[in-house]
């Protein structure tokens, strides 16, 4: 009992941290009380290997209905022919698509990690990079995808998959241009190329109708996490175009059969029993995402991000791509203030502003002391912060950057404890005006 009490005590401390700080990490968000209830339900007790109507265990009549609800809502959100809601994470979703379409050694063309891509898109430290041959394309000086390089590499390497996806990219992709390249290369080689979009960061913007949907621009598959801008539980999803077949039966390796190939790749290919309590929470979140007010929320995410980016520029921050077209901002603090991203991240933590250090495309081997920081507006927008609050945030960020300049390093921040404490109090006061969903306010 003592250990259980300790755990719940720490959960209470995390509630306090979230309530009294402001979350700027672009891959984080807050779920509703209903999503939390579904995740904490008795569904966690049920084993449900297989798919609705095709389970390996009995007693799944209610689970089947819930999973089918999640599937139908996801299809509607993304105008898809099929949805697999079982992936435990975005990484699992990506690996399942690779496994569905590629053989070991096949080439996959994706954005390189330094340019803003994701670990699961071919970083050497990942399992998938040891199985498949990843080739990376980059970005231009303006921060956009280097489409000329992408086309050149596609013609030269003849990949089995062309992947558009990222974790630090601020532009709207030209899906039509990539689809055209894939079609031309396929015609030359006679081999079908799978077009895959990892939209984990912007899936909520797509669902909200303010970001292009890759499935409506020639792409066959879209993967995503279900948290981030979708405001659901931590998990993954794969939506696709094509014929939906029996996942327990083999089918031809053709683009038209992608939904069935993916189902087989998820289970039994790469995962066992699905987390039905999380799938229920996904269904609840997708239901929320289908409501008209979610479109307003998605639009406000981008509006807030653009206001914040403009204010940061006014205070001296240099931004990758000179701003943002989505929810995410990548700031170059090395050239702006002669400090590294990790130092700045640590200083902001002290005042209750949470973001993450991030490499820039120009960084060379600086993963642990990168030149930039990555921030975004989904979580703050969920709490109701608006344009005026974005201006206040930019001011605090400038103040902390200037303190870092004077301090020189993290131990040097001790000399500026009073200045940091004053900013911390301002952050706390502002945060308390915008309660975190599902965290009941406690007496201050």
Q: What is the DSSP string of 115-132?
A: TT--GGGT-TTSHHHHHS
Do 362 and 279 have their domain in common? Answer: no
Whether the Cβ atoms of residue 58 and residue 409 lie closer than 8 Å to each other: no
Any domain includes 18: no
Any domain includes 322: yes
Any domain includes 382: yes
Do 324 and 387 have their domain in common? Answer: yes
Mean pLDDT computed over 67-88: 98
Q: Is the pLDDT of residue 367 over 70?
A: no
Q: Strand pairing partners for 375? A: 329
Confidence of residue 440 (pLDDT cuts 50, 70, 90): confident
Domain that holds residue 408: 298-432
Do 99 and 211 have their domain in common? Answer: yes
Q: Is the pLDDT of residue 194 over 70?
A: yes
Give catalytic residue positions.
Answer: 47, 49, 198, 225, 228, 234
Confidence of residue 443 (pLDDT cuts 50, 70, 90): very low
pLDDT digits (tens, 9 = 90+) for 148-193: 999 999 999 999 999 999 999 999 999 999 999 999 999 999 999 9
Confidence of residue 444 (pLDDT cuts 50, 70, 90): very low
Any domain includes 438: no
Q: Which residue's entry shows tokens 């899936």?
A: 203
Distance, in Å, from the CA atom of 286 to the CA atom of 34, rounded to the nearest integer, reads 12
Q: Is the pLDDT of residue 223 over 60?
A: yes
Do 100 and 242 have their domain in common? Answer: yes
Distance, in Å, from the CA atom of 210 to the CA atom of 205, rounded to the nearest integer, reads 6
pLDDT digits (tens, 9 = 90+) for 135-149: 999 999 999 999 999
Q: What is the pLDDT of residue 366?
A: 59
Do 269 and 353 have their domain in common? Answer: no
Whether the Cβ atoms of residue 313 and residue 304 lie closer than 8 Å to each other: no
Return mean pLDDT, the chain.
95
| Phi, psi torsion values for 56, nearest 5 degrees | -95, 0
Any domain includes 24: no
Any domain includes 165: yes
Q: What is the pLDDT of residue 135?
A: 97
Do 355 and 416 have their domain in common? Answer: yes
* Pairing mode of beta strands 328-332, 318-319: antiparallel
| Phi, psi torsion values for 318, nearest 5 degrees | -90, 130
CATH, residue 77: 3.40.640.10
Do 267 and 337 have their domain in common? Answer: no
Do 185 and 225 have their domain in common? Answer: yes
Q: What is the pLDDT of residue 250?
A: 87
Do 59 and 165 have their domain in common? Answer: yes
Q: What is the pLDDT of residue 249?
A: 85
Distance, in Å, from the CA atom of 245 to the CA atom of 333, rounded to the nearest integer, reads 51
Which tokens go with 202?
A: 């912007």
Do 111 and 256 have their domain in common? Answer: yes
Whether the Cβ atoms of residue 348 and residue 423 lie closer than 8 Å to each other: no
Of 289, 324, 350, which residue sits at a domain end?
A: 289
Confidence of residue 246 (pLDDT cuts 50, 70, 90): confident
Q: Is the pLDDT of residue 394 over 80?
A: yes
Of 268, 289, 310, which residue sits at a domain end?
A: 289
Any domain includes 17: no
Mean pLDDT computed over 68-73: 98
* Pairing mode of beta strands 236-240, 353-354: unpaired
Of 289, 322, 337, which residue sits at a domain end?
A: 289
CATH, residue 305: 3.90.1150.10
Q: Is the pLDDT of residue 349 over 60?
A: yes
Q: Is the pLDDT of residue 202 over 90?
A: yes
Distance, in Å, from the CA atom of 319 to the CA atom of 330, rounded to the nearest integer, reads 6
Confidence of residue 365 (pLDDT cuts 50, 70, 90): low
Q: At what angle do helices 292-314 and 387-407 cross, to 10 degrees?
A: 40
Do 41 and 110 have their domain in common? Answer: yes
Mean pLDDT computed over 35-45: 97
* Pairing mode of beta strands 54-55, 50-51: antiparallel
Distance, in Å, from the CA atom of 99 to the CA atom of 271, rounded to the nearest integer, reads 12
Mean pLDDT computed over 111-126: 90
Measured in whole angstroms, how far is the alpha carbon of residue 275 from the centre of its chain?
Answer: 20
Q: Strand pairing partners for 328? A: 376
Distance, in Å, from the CA atom of 425 to the CA atom of 408, rounded to the nearest integer, reads 23
pLDDT digits (tens, 9 = 90+) for 267-319: 999 999 999 999 999 999 999 999 999 999 999 999 999 999 999 999 999 99
Widest CA span in the chain: 68
Q: What is the pLDDT of residue 442?
A: 62
Mean pLDDT computed over 54-74: 97
Do 131 and 153 have their domain in common? Answer: yes
Which tokens go with 167?
A: 């974790």
Q: In angstroms, what CA-CA distances link 173 with 15, 75, 200, 218?
A: 37, 22, 14, 13
Q: Provide the number of structural domains found in the chain.
A: 2
Q: What is the pLDDT of residue 363?
A: 86
Any domain includes 442: no
């Amino acid at each position: 009992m003592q250990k259980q009490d300790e755990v719940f005590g720490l959960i209470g401390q995390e509630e306090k941290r979230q309530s009294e700080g402001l979350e700027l990490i672009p891959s984080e968000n807050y779920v509703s009380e209903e999503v939390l209830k579904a995740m904490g339900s008795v569904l966690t007790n049920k084993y449900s290997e297989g798919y609705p109507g095709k389970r390996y265990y009995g007693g799944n009549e209610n689970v089947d209905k819930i999973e089918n609800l999640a599937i139908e809502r996801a299809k509607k959100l993304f105008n898809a022919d099929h949805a697999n809601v079982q992936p435990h994470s975005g990484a699992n979703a990506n690996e399942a698509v690779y496994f569905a379409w590629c053989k070991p050694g096949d080439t996959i063309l994706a954005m390189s990690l330094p340019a803003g891509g994701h670990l699961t898109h071919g970083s050497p430290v990942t399992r998938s990079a040891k199985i498949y041959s990843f080739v990376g394309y980059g970005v231009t000086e303006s921060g956009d995808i280097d489409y000329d390089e992408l086309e050149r590499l596609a013609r030269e390497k003849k990949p089995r998959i062309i992947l558009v996806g990222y974790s630090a990219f601020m532009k709207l992709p030209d899906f039509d241009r990539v689809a055209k390249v894939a079609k031309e290369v396929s015609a030359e080689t006679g081999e079908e190329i799978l077009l895959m979009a990892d939209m984990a960061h912007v899936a909520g913007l797509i669902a909200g109708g303010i970001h292009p949907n890759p499935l409506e621009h020639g792409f066959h598959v879209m993967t995503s996490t279900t948290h981030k801008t979708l405001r659901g539980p931590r998990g993954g999803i794969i939506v696709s175009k094509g014929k939906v077949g029996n996942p327990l039966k083999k089918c031809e390796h053709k683009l038209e059969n992608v939904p069935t190939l993916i189902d087989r790749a998820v289970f039994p290919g790469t995962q066992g029993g699905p987390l039905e309590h999380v799938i229920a929470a996904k269904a609840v979140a997708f239901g929320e995402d289908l409501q008209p007010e979610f479109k307003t929320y998605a639009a406000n995410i981008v509006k807030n991000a653009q206001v914040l980016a403009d204010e940061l520029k006014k205070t001296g921050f240099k931004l990758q791509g000179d701003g943002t077209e989505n929810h995410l901002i990548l700031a170059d603090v090395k050239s702006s203030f002669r400090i590294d991203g990790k130092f700045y991240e640590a200083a902001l933590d002290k005042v209750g502003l949470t973001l993450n250090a991030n490499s820039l495309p120009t960084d060379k081997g600086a993963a642990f002391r990168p030149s930039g920081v990555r921030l975004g507006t989904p979580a703050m927008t969920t709490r109701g912060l608006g344009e005026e609050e974005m201006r206040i945030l930019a001011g605090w960020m400038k103040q902390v950057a200037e303190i870092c300049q004077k301090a020189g390093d993290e131990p040097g921040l001790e000399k500026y404890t009073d200045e940091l404490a004053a900013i911390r109090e301002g952050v706390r006061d502002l945060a308390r005006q915008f309660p975190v969903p599902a965290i009941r306010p406690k007496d201050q």
